[in-house]
Amino acid sequence: MPITRAEAFAPASMGNVGIGFDILGLAYQEPGDRVIAEYWDQPGIQIAKIEGDGGRLPLTASQNTAGVAAQSVLSRVGADCGISLTIYKGLSLESGMGSSAASAVAAAMAVNALLGSPLTKRDLLPACLDGEALVSGRHADNVAPCLLGGIVLVTGVDADHILTLPYPAQLRLALVTPEVAVPTAQARAVLPPTIPLKAMVSQTMHVARMIDALYRGDLEAIAMAMESDQVIEPARAHLMPYLQEVRSAAKAAGALGVVISGAGPTLCAVCDSDTSAERVAFVMGSVYQAAGMGATVRATQICDQGARVI
């Protein structure tokens, strides 16, 4: 008996991972978005409902990353049926945690499952990128880890150009998201159009150090490399309230390093245990609390599975 309903979960993600602008990404174990796909009696994609977005996201499928990704799946498999989507946003918009990518990936996964899974996960990458391109450009530093899981090196937009990287088992992450929005377009607009040769050499050196440290499983070296960005963070730091104060407090509490998650304003601390991550998350939140600013904190780790049908 054919299924008439499928549901998928897609996790939050961090683009850049500090030092690797647009070429490194990782999937957080939580939070994430859920999408339910069901057949309906009109051809194409409709979005029946969105919960958790505060009414900010469009219900028109062609203007929503989930709707675009879902339609792309239909087109790629040659299906002419009608599918209705219900989207549950577990991710805040404009938070630096891959919200638009998660919606696109969850929708693509759910629609593919509803159709009997004709496409593999890697086959779904182009459809997910179609959705992400609607709002953030056609780059895979959020979509690829969200879909595939783990830490990835992005060398292009084809599945063959997404390389999975190793990491030490004790790696844990502490997150704090202050109640301030940083739109990706704004965060990109402040970036320098050119950089000096010396800065380029330094940046590429630290990316290489990051890859080396990941393969050696050296957590302290990983954190040091992540935090060595001399191009992107300096340009964006003014958009991140209390960045230096949070970094100082987190390190005093045991964090090995603190970086901006994606375009921000979420900040991510690298820790070496669950206990440390929980302590550091609390301390980072306390910085905003003392400043009279609301913030959400979370202790988590890397999600190796990526998106999944549930």
Q: What is the pLDDT of residues 202-243, one digit of tens each?
A: 999 999 999 999 999 999 999 999 999 999 999 999 999 999
Number of domains in the chain: 2
Active site residues: 132, 184
Residue 211: partners with Cβ closer than 8 Å, 6 or more residues away: 153, 165
Same domain for 178 and 213, yes or no, is yes
Peptide bond connecting 58 to the previous residue in cis, omega within 30 degrees of 0: no
| 62-80 per-position pLDDT tens digit | 999 999 999 999 999 999 9
pTM for the full predicted model: 0.95
Backbone phi and psi for residue 19, each to the nearest 5 degrees, phi listed first: -90, -20
Same domain for 62 and 188, yes or no, is no
Which of 117, 142, 165 delimits the end of a domain?
Answer: 165
Q: Is residue 310 included in any domain, yes or no?
A: no
Say what the pLDDT of residue 102 is: 98
Domain membership of residue 179 as a residue range:
172-300
Q: Strand locations in 114-226, DSSP E?
A: 151-154, 162-165, 172-178
Residue (of 136, 145, 33) closest to 92 by Cα position: 33
Low-confidence ranges of the chain (pLDDT < 50): none
Distance CA(274)–CA(114), nearest Å, equals 37
Q: Is residue 32 included in any domain, yes or no?
A: yes
CATH code for the domain in which residue 277 is found: 3.30.70.890
Say what the pLDDT of residue 183 is: 84
